[in-house]
Amino acid sequence: MSDDRGLGLVLGSTVAPEQLPGAAATAEECGFDELWLAEDFFFTGGISGAVLALEATNQIKVGLGVVSAVVRHPALLAMEISTISRVHPGRLTAGIGLGVPGWVRQMSLYPSTTLGALRDSVTGLRSLLRGDELTHKGSVHSFDRVQLAYPEASPTPVHMGVIGPKMLQLSGEIADGSIFSVAASLEYVRWARDRIEEGRQRGHRTDAHRITMFALYSVDTDGAAAREAVRGPLAFYKSNGPNSLTDVHGISDQLQEIIDRGGAEALEREMPGRWIEELTVAGSPAECAAKINQFYEAGVDTVALFPTPTDRVSELVELTSAEVIPLL
């Protein structure tokens, strides 16, 4: 890999908390560049998971990928991030998004304006981390003379986990980077980068904007077995329904038809094999390396692999180190 390209590993979510420290240490030993701690509701906590990963490793970068802008007030999120970054300076990246809408609605926290929630959260967070005293009435989050007692000593990059066109534009305008969800296609990556650039132009940004893409991942000497291993997880994530990922890829209508017939179970049974080929990184080591390289060529800076099945994380990491990383 070139110096500006990264390979990440996504932990958290369906990886049990007690497995996180060992998996993080193994990933660092095996040559991964980054760890990302997912916070899918209602699985493993992202912030606590990031702390476990940082404590179990020495140098590898660790990202929150992503925490919700509405589940925690930005002042609380700033406290958490500053606390972590002061103990582990230069190793943390903060990824902030809305969260899967259905899960957010289960907690009655879906905001009146999603764009407003993300803008309030990201801009408020950055101001507080700098040590500013903040008084501001936002569209979702407000602040009355809020100031951290322990602001950051060095700045943590703030990325946004976003999918739709307006959110991508907002990320380009106010964030240091963007995080793409699992099941992004090459077409989506190219389309999303254009939307980010529109936002960067609107915000007169000339600094770097890093793109991280999460990818459902399974590698096996038997490529067919690896592809079958990601079928269930892909169905789980896509059962939330169409969005910009599927719109750009041109499968939204077919996806909704299958969901209407029987939800995630029908989707797992009936999804075309080409969806697995195009929306995941799964197959033999050579096939996985080729797919990762295609995403690099499309403009992704870091491909963060979301390993499945989760009970084989250590095995997948070691096989990736031995047979995939040398091909990147």
User: Would the pLDDT of 109 be above 70?
Assistant: yes
State the pTM of this model: 0.94
pLDDT in tens, 161-209: 999 999 999 999 999 999 999 999 999 999 999 999 999 999 999 999 9
Residues 293 and 275 grouped into a single domain: no
pLDDT at residue 3, rounded to an integer: 65
Range of the domain at 267: 231-279
Q: How far apart are CA 253 and CA 247, in angstroms?
A: 9
Residue 37: C-alpha distances to residues 21, 148, 203 (Å): 12, 25, 29
Residues 268 and 129 grouped into a single domain: no
pLDDT at residue 101, rounded to an integer: 86
Count of domains forming the chain: 2
Q: How far apart are CA 138 and CA 73, in angstroms?
A: 12
Q: How far apart are CA 211 and CA 175, in angstroms?
A: 11
State mean pLDDT over 35-50. Answer: 92
Residues 124 and 179 grouped into a single domain: yes
Q: How confident is the model at residue 100 (pLDDT cuts 50, 70, 90)?
A: confident
Task: Kindly report the average pLDDT of the chain as a whole number.
Answer: 95
pLDDT in tens, 263-277: 999 999 999 999 999
DSSP reduced 3-state for 300: coil
Residues 272 and 180 grouped into a single domain: no
Q: How far apart are CA 220 and CA 232, in angstroms?
A: 16
pLDDT at residue 60, rounded to an integer: 97
User: Would the pLDDT of 12 be above 80?
Assistant: no
Residues 172 and 191 grouped into a single domain: yes
68 neighbors 35 (Cβ within 8 angstroms): no
Output the domain CATH number for residue 70: 3.20.20.30
Which of left, alpha, beta for 72 (phi over 0: left; psi -120 to 50: alpha)?
A: beta
107 neighbors 114 (Cβ within 8 angstroms): no
Residues 163 and 286 grouped into a single domain: yes
User: Would the pLDDT of 95 be above 90?
Assistant: yes
Residues 49 and 120 grouped into a single domain: yes
Residues 137 and 241 grouped into a single domain: no
Residues 321 and 173 grouped into a single domain: yes
222 neighbors 287 (Cβ within 8 angstroms): no
β-strands 142-146, 134-137 pairing: antiparallel
pLDDT in tens, 53-88: 999 999 999 999 899 999 999 999 999 999 999 999
pLDDT at residue 169, rounded to an integer: 98
Measured in degrees and rounded to the nearest 5, phi and psi for residue 94 equal: -100, 120
Question: How would DSSP label each residue in 72-105?
Answer: S-HHHHHHHHHHHHHHSTT-EEEEEE---HHHHH
